[in-house]
Amino acid sequence: MASQKTLMDLFQPAKRLKLSPPPSCSSSSALTPDQQSRVEFNKLRAKSKRNLKISLDKLSKAKREGVGNVKLEELLVEETWLEALPGELQKPYARNLCKFVEREICGGNVPIYPPQHLIFNALNSTPFDRVKAVIIGQDPYHGPGQAMGLSFSVPEGVKVPSSLVNIFKELQKDLGCSIPSNGNLERWAIQGVLLLNTVLTVRHHQANSHAKKGWEQFTDAVIKTISQEKKGVIFLLWGNSAQEKSRLIDGNKHHILKAAHPSGLSANRGFFGCRHFSRANKLLEQMGILPIDWQL
């Protein structure tokens, strides 16, 4: 009997060890919130770069085949948006819009901004299922090398426009962020900030030249879909044009923050001091959602 008890005692710990999960199963929970945030960011950045490469590869293939351009609807490649907006770019208004933009690009007399592969950059960089906040702009910057398909954003090496300078000033006052050396806002887009212009293309040095051609209907569909299909998204509406879009947003499901436009003409009339960045993060934290790291 004594020997049997000894054997049972020996086997009991083995049973307990079998029930314990292997270390690899709990490794993610051992990460700090900051580490989890970095892992998530790197995954989303990789997806954004993949989408960009797909768009570029389509253009390269078209040039090799002597076509010169890709059909506009083929440049929206992010699957989650294609699922959220089924058939939107096949509707009559969108077909007419696509033909118009393709004619403008192929005409060649006046450059069209942003470059073709960046026209849907906002949607290709911020998957539908990851949208936490939306910042609405008007149409792209119309100077050479400025537009990159993200509202208010310019590529590195391009002079930071005055509106973005004022956004950075407010960020510094609101959250103590240091003023960045460039105006590339891709880090925001990758974290779930949809940087959406209401019009996605423009002629060289001709502001609003592609307005009222169908883009507004398409981007309204984007905003309405977010409002209908998601919950708890924070809309940062700066200026009258952006605030008009509040009619598309269910204020009972989402958070709408309004302020003056950050342009030099109106920043002093309510944009400075709006504290939208800290307010957005507080709302996200209250919903149990990872806040946005606004520092660039």
Report angle CA 122, 190, 163 to the nearest 5 degrees. 60
For residue 257, which phi and psi values (nearest 5 degrees)?
Answer: -110, 125
Looking at residue 232, what DSSP letter applies? S
H-only helix segments in the chain = 2-19, 33-64, 79-84, 92-107, 121-125, 162-175, 186-190, 215-229, 240-243, 276-286
Beta bridge partners of 193: 133
From CA 167, how far away is CA 186, in angstroms rounded? 15
Pick from 155, 65, 140: nearest CA to 104: 140
**Exposure class string for 204-219: b at 16+ Cβ within 10 A, else e:** eeeeebbeebbbbebb
Give the 3-state secondary structure percentages of the chain, helix then strand then coil, rounded to 5.
50, 10, 40
Query: Are 60 and 69 a contacting pair, CB within 8 Å?
Result: no
- Among the listed residues 139, 174, 220, 250, the single catalytic one is 139
One DSSP character per residue, 152-167 reads T---TTSPPPHHHHHH
Burial of 102: CB neighbours in 10 Å, binned 0-12, 13-18, 19+: middle
Element (H, E) at 29: none
Say whether 9 is catalytic.
no
**283: Cβ–Cβ under 8 A, 6 or more apart, which residues?**
232, 234, 255
- Pick from 57, 86, 164, 71: which is nearest to 119 by CA? 71
Q: Annotated active-site positions, please? A: 139
